[in-house]
């Protein structure tokens, strides 16, 4: 599991694995478990984050296999994890819905304030096999740890930046952890750990985590060179 902790991002693999492109079309399934105070805000957050108007999302286009696009295709609510670990839980939740998951699916798993889970840091991401064949990418964002992750931010802003951090790393890491970019060894958000910035998308302000841009050689929330044809 790849964890959102300073200096602990996994290094890129060698050879061709380090140059594999991430999936171009990202489909986000937002899953809330337990009581979460920011369900409405996070639905809007993800919808804005992966929209065509999101300059933050477009930064990741330089690492994709084609023109990058994204959409939120489902929002799921559950009372608790039960006896399942997050990977098992995600598999059950996705297979219970009419739309079948695929390799472009990113699951944003938000654990409420009443759900106890140790992420080993602010949040984490990993890949999960949901039906013995289909592999999806998962970000786990527990409210308890993510809401206090960055000093000086309010709870919503802290959860938002952690959510952006995990999404950026999950979709630019392959199913076995290999990176889709290769200028540096660490993950695209860990290179910019703790760097946040507020942006406005569709008239709503969101707090995002900066991500590394190869073409800018810098941590950014927007990039001209990443979207240049």
Inter-CA distances, 115 with 41, 89, 150, Å: 19, 13, 20
pLDDT tens for residues 116-156? Answer: 999 999 999 988 888 878 889 999 999 999 999 999 999 99
pLDDT score recorded for residue 159: 98
- For residues 202-219, average pLDDT: 95
* Confidence grade of residue 5 (pLDDT, cut at 50, 70, 90): very low
Q: For residue 12, what are the contacts with CB-CB under 8 A and spacing of at least 6?
A: 18, 178, 179, 181, 182, 184, 185, 186
pLDDT score recorded for residue 121: 94
pLDDT score recorded for residue 123: 96
What stretch of H or E contains 40? helix 39-49
- For residues 201-211, average pLDDT: 97
Q: Does the predicted model carry a pTM greater than 0.75?
A: yes
Strands (E), 59-114: 69-78, 105-111
pLDDT score recorded for residue 75: 95
**Of 200, 210, 206, 222, nearest in space to 42 by CA:** 206
**3-state SS, residue 36:** coil
pLDDT tens for residues 63-90? Answer: 888 888 999 999 999 999 999 999 899 9
pLDDT score recorded for residue 23: 77
pLDDT score recorded for residue 227: 72
């Amino acid at each position: 599991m790849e964890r959102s902790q300073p200096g602990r991002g996994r290094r890129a693999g060698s050879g061709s694995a380090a140059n594999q492109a991430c999936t171009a079309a990202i489909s986000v399934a937002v899953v809330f478990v337990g009581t979460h105070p920011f369900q409405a805000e996070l639905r809007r957050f993800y919808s804005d984050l992966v929209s065509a108007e999101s300059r933050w999302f477009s930064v990741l286009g330089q690492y994709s296999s084609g023109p990058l696009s994204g959409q939120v295709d489902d929002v799921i609510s559950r009372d608790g994890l039960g006896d399942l670990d997050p990977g098992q839980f995600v598999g059950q939740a996705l297979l219970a819905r009419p739309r079948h998951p695929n390799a472009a699916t990113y699951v944003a798993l938000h654990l409420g304030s009443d759900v106890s889970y140790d992420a080993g840091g602010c949040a984490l991401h990993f890949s999960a096999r949901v039906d013995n064949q289909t592999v999806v990418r998962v970000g786990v964002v527990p409210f308890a740890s993510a809401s206090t992750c960055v000093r000086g931010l309010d709870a919503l802003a802290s959860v938002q930046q952690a959510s952006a951090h995990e999404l950026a790393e999950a979709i630019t890491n392959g199913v076995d952890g290999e990176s889709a970019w290769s200028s540096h060894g660490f993950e695209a958000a860990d290179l910019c750990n703790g760097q946040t910035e507020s942006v406005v998308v569709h008239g709503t302000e969101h707090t995002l985590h900066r991500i590394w841009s190869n073409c800018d050689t810098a941590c950014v929330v927007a990039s001209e060179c990443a979207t240049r044809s």
